Amino acid sequence: MSTFPGPIEEIPGISVDRFENKENLSASVYFLSHCHSDHMKGLHNFFIENLEKKNKFLYCSEISKAILNAKSNLVKSDMIKGLSALSPVVIGFNREKGTTVFVTVTLIPAGHCPGSVMFLFEYNEKKILYTGDFRINANDFAKIKPLHDCDGKNLYPKKFDKIYLDTTFLRLEYFKIPTRKESVDEIRKATKDWLNLDPKNIVIMKLPYNYGLEYVFKDISIGLNKKIHVKDSVYEVYKRIKEIGPYITNNANSTPLHGCLLFRDFRGCLPCRPDVDEKNILAIHISVYKWGGNLDSGAFISWDEVKERQLSVCYSSHASCEELKAFLKYFPASEIYPCVLPKTAEKQDAIYALLAEFSKKDNQKVTIDSSYEFRFPKAGSSGKVNFKSMIFSDEDDD
């Protein structure tokens, strides 16, 4: 869960993925990396109405804007601007005393969930990268042209003044996590085998969250030539996204493949298909936290020892510790800010130590920014009406 407070301190007036408290509300321009609840704190109708009153804008990817527009409890606003990926755009905004600031912003696909992006900010010769939540294969780093400079002949990685980094799995127990392809291959194989056993069989993919598993849905749908049934609220969003829409349906009776329940909601039967006997249902629990980092053996699938016909598959849409190491080795930075910190000082120290180790470059001093002390609020203490929806949750506590 993100602990990033919002302001990009190198560029006064910008707030990213945080839309509450005085400091963020006084910002001049806002950015949203993706539509998961821990990156949308404070993003509710009051905030958007305030944008319109003060003539301020919120920038995000075009897909994120479509997701926001699909939410009936959010005001449809011209103050939310969808930007194309990989195309630099100059954004100007007013600061106090009438000064105008111009920042070049480039959105980089982050590979986390629909519409998720990283933000490359270039301002006063400074290069700042905010990763948001991301997972990108190390083999693809060299393909991301906006994160490279050119000397006339060759591309080489930009040197960043600061990287605001997704450190969700910057922990040695999650050093190796199977690639998404490896995980999906196992899900597809198990699904195909089960459906071939009996024409009455059904597969339910127990989800840790409603958005973020589109790679799974698309690949399984293509591989088996069947659509995935999702709940109506998710369908209303997915149908607007051409990369996902063809592979999903809201007709429960039209397919044996279901992605319509969170893992905590599955009780052995399918509410959308009461005609199906429990013995004909294979449940596939798609998660990473369930494994607790016990991946040293290389095994990332297991049959539940208690629950019949339940298969667990390790799957992550965040970069593994190994992938974060590769990212920091490939993209040099003078300073790194960890955007996901655990509660205890001991675990925070472990993250700072790994950042320092992974960021070492010859003859280069790297600063690890630990100046921000994140204080976890007490439940119900804010008194604010936050944007609440399990649909956008990026939490997986089982």
pLDDT tens for the chain, 398 residues long, are: 889 999 999 998 999 999 988 888 889 999 999 988 889 998 888 888 888 888 899 999 998 988 888 775 666 778 899 999 999 999 998 876 678 889 999 999 999 988 899 999 999 999 999 999 999 999 999 999 999 998 877 889 999 999 999 999 999 888 989 999 999 999 999 999 999 999 999 999 987 776 778 889 999 999 999 999 998 888 988 888 888 899 999 999 999 999 988 777 777 788 999 999 999 999 998 888 877 666 665 678 888 776 788 898 999 999 999 999 999 999 999 999 999 998 889 999 999 999 999 987 654 555 666 654 433 333 333 322 222 222 333 443 33
Q: What is the 3-state secondary structure (H, E, C) of the chain?
A: CCCCCCECCCCCCEEECCCCHHHHHCCCEEECCCCCHHHCCCCCHHHHHHHHHHCCCEEEEHHHHHHHHHCCCCCCCCCEEEECCCCCEEEEEECHHHCEEEEEEEEEECCCCCCCEEEEEEECCEEEEECCCCCCCHHHHHHCHHHEEECCCCEEECCECEEEECCCCCCHHHCCCCCHHHHHHHHHHHHHHHHHHCCCCEEEEEECCCCCCHHHHHHHHHHHCCCEECCHHHHHHHCCCCCCHHHEECCHHHCCEECCCEHHHCCCCCCCCCCCCHHHEEEEEEECHHHCCCCCCCCCEEECCCCCCEEEEECCCCCCHHHHHHHHHHCCECEEEECCCCCCHHHHHHHHHHHHHHCCECCECCEECCCCCCCCCCCCCCCCCCCCCHHHCCCCCC
- Sequence spans of domains, the chain: 14-174+319-392, 180-314
Q: What is the pLDDT of residues 207-254, one digit of tens each?
A: 777 677 888 999 999 999 999 999 888 898 888 888 889 999 999 999
Task: Report domain 180-314's class.
Answer: alpha beta
pTM tops 0.85: yes
Q: Domain 14-174+319-392 - what CATH class?
A: alpha beta
